[in-house]
Amino acid sequence: MDVEILGYGIYIPQYRIKVAEIASIWGKDVTAIERSLGVKEKSVAAQDEDTVTMSFEAAFLALQRACLPPSAVDICFVGSESHPYAVNPTSTIVAEFLGVGRNYLSVDLEFACKAATAGVIAAAGLISSRKAQTAIVIGADTAQAKPHDILEYTSASAACALVLGRDQNESLANLVEFTSYSSDTPDFWRRDGVRFPSHGGRFTGEPAYFTHVEAAAKTLLGKTKMRPSEFDYCVFHMPNGKFPREVAQRLGFHEVQLAPSLTVETIGNPYSASSLLGLSAVLDIARPGQLIFMVSYGSGAGSDGFIFKTSKHIGKRRKLVPTFSDCVKDKRYISYIQQLKYRGRI
């Protein structure tokens, strides 16, 4: 497929809160929660940060890494479930800040945590059919959770942007193949006007996450006639640290293939940015000619599966902008009360 990743950029808020801090407020066993979720801390957006500002930061860095001017962008997609406006697109605000111009296709996407990967597929189709030259696809969320809910320990904030195009001479990775698997499985939802989402507890695992991720993965492997052992890395959506490990094992992937993508361990689950952040962390260390297997997941429910192959240029522009490792080290811990204040709850 003649669709390439030309650049990628991420943004992680500086603020972090430890799982231990949240657990102590509710009198919970810290060790048990950390072991169960596989998360020790998460990123928290500041008072002046939202999906728009984080999307802009990630997109700006992605274009820098791609060595492209904003005017080269034909498509701007933003996938999120925390768009700041119900009516007024995030994507046009981001494109305006970037200086894209006026002749571009813009749309906001929603499909829980796979909104951005759906955008990657849509953009890839337009690029492959020669209807567009360059697209920027962003996944960003300031994930919400009801106080004292299990999601409060993992729901995080971050953004990741991919620049897609057809320039093989400047490619960082090639999109080899993709697939999707969807169903009406309401494991997680939030009605209009309701502040916090609801979820089906244990129902979110087996009939939701595992069914869809496994089905998409097996469809993609069957479509390409490839085996898990042929891949250098794998990336799966990370609602916590436990689910991606289990699904990787079920599919026949090994810990060494998965470990570099587990961004959830250090920043939590930033919903639409989750799988793309895992991909970015892998691209930060991948060598030329390596294969990456990725499957996203979005409640409601669906999964998108992708295979990427890194190009000979993968290391060429890696240090032009901060890597995941750089960003995750730049942090400042806050208290539970500060978190409530920053997210407008008090």
| Residue 237 designated active-site | yes
End-to-end CA distance of the chain: 50
Q: Who contacts 329 (Cβ-Cβ below 8 Å, separation ≥6)?
A: none
Rounded distance, CA 323 to CA 321, Å?
7
3-state helix, strand, coil in the chain (%, to 5): 40, 25, 35
Q: Kindly report the backbone phi and psi dihedral angles of residue 15, in degrees, each rounded to the nearest multiple of 5, phi listed first.
A: -75, 140
Q: Is 169 helix (H, G, I), strand (E, B) or coil?
A: helix
Q: In this structure, is the dihedral angle defined by the CA atoms of residues 327, 237, 97 and 171, taken in order, positive or negative?
A: positive
For residue 95, give both structure tokens: 């494109």
| Residue 57 designated active-site | no
Residue whose C-alpha is closest to residue 292's, from 258, 243, 255, 251:
258
Q: Kindly report the backbone phi and psi dihedral angles of residue 100, in degrees, each rounded to the nearest multiple of 5, phi listed first.
A: -65, -35
Among residues 49, 57, 113, 152, which one is catalytic?
113
Among residues 21, 81, 160, 327, which one is catalytic?
81
Residue whose C-alpha is closest to residue 162's, from 208, 103, 118:
118
| Residue 110 designated active-site | no
Q: Is 99 helix (H, G, I), strand (E, B) or coil?
A: coil
Among residues 21, 212, 237, 327, which one is catalytic?
237
Q: Is 324 helix (H, G, I), strand (E, B) or coil?
A: helix
Q: Kindly report the backbone phi and psi dihedral angles of residue 307, in degrees, each rounded to the nearest multiple of 5, phi listed first.
A: -125, 125
Q: What DSSP designation does 287 have?
A: P
Contact at 8 Å (CB) between 206 and 162? no
List residues with catalytic annotation: 81, 113, 237
